[in-house]
């Protein structure tokens, strides 16, 4: 019962945040509602027993990535989005289409699912077990992602750096 109430409340918060992201005109409002979505998703992970994923969700997604988004929105002084002919067509075609697809997918999931249930904290996954898995069976993918992150850092620095003819930079 408690599980159902927590799931419903935070699932509702999650969906409302996601819809609010679509309805808001200003990017900063969209970013803040995305933080709400990620925070409530972390609670859903906790309900499933995935403590490690919940912690990483809060730290990496709601913390680091969203700070990056908010920083860029403020840096670029992004204003309200303008509407064009293309955006009206996208509204008219996109929203009914996605509503139809969502209803069909949800119907299929609810009709054809078996009666398996997930109990509160079903996943016996303490972080130690995940570390064991990560550093033994998934060691090679882990190292590959570390290289990926290194390349991404260098790429971000190169892309966001000012062009080399910047006046304030002089050879010393």
Q: How far is the CB of 159 from another protein (least distance, A)?
A: 4
Instruction: Give the tokens for residue 18.
Output: 């996601």
The residue among 164 and 171 lying less far from another protein, judged by its C-beta, is 164
Does 141 bind another protein (CB under 8 A)? Our answer is yes
Q: How many CB atoms lie within 10 A of CB 37?
A: 20
Q: Which of 9, 133, 139, 143 binds another protein (CB under 8 A)?
A: 133
Contacts (CB under 8 A) with another protein, residues 66-85: 68-69, 72-73, 75-76, 78, 81-84
Shortest gap between Cβ of 171 and another protein (angstroms)? 23
Q: Is 155 in the site for another protein (CB under 8 A)?
A: yes
Complex with another protein: residue 75 or 170, whichever CB lies closer: 75
Calculate the alpha carbon distances from 35 to 17, 51, 65, 66, 160 in Å. 8, 19, 10, 7, 25
- If we measure between CA atoms, which residue out of 117, 106, 100, 120 comes closest to residue 48? 120
Binding string, 14-33, against another protein, x = CB under 8 A?
xx--xx-xx----x--xx--
9 scored as a contact of another protein (CB under 8 A): no
Position 110 contacts another protein (CB under 8 A): yes
Residue from the set 9, 118, 139, 143 that interacts with another protein by CB under 8 A: 118
Phi-psi region of 60 (alpha: psi -120 to 50; beta: other; left: phi over 0): alpha
Query: What span, in angstroms and rounded, lies between the C-alpha atoms of 116 and 111?
Result: 13
**Shortest approach of another protein to residue 34 CB, angstroms?**
5
Mention every residue, 6+ apart, whose C-beta is less than 8 A from residue 120. Answer: 2, 3, 47, 49
């Amino acid at each position: 019962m408690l599980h159902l109430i927590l799931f419903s409340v935070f699932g509702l918060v999650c969906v409302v945040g996601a819809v609010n992201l679509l309805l808001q005109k200003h990017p900063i409002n969209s970013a803040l509602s995305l933080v709400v979505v990620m925070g409530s998703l972390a609670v859903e992970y906790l309900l499933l027993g995935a403590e490690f994923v919940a912690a990483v969700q809060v730290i990496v997604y709601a913390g680091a990535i969203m700070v990056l988004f908010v920083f860029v929105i403020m840096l670029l002084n992004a204003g309200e989005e303008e509407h064009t002919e293309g955006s009206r067509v996208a509204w008219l075609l996109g929203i009914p289409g996605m509503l139809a697809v969502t209803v069909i997918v949800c119907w299929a999931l609810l009709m054809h699912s078996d009666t398996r249930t997930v109990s509160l904290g079903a996943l016996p996954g303490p972080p130690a077990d995940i570390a064991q898995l990560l550093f033994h069976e998934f060691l090679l993918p882990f190292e590959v992602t570390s290289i990926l992150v290194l390349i991404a850092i260098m790429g971000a620095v190169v892309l966001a750096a000012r062009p080399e003819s910047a006046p304030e930079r002089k050879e010393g």
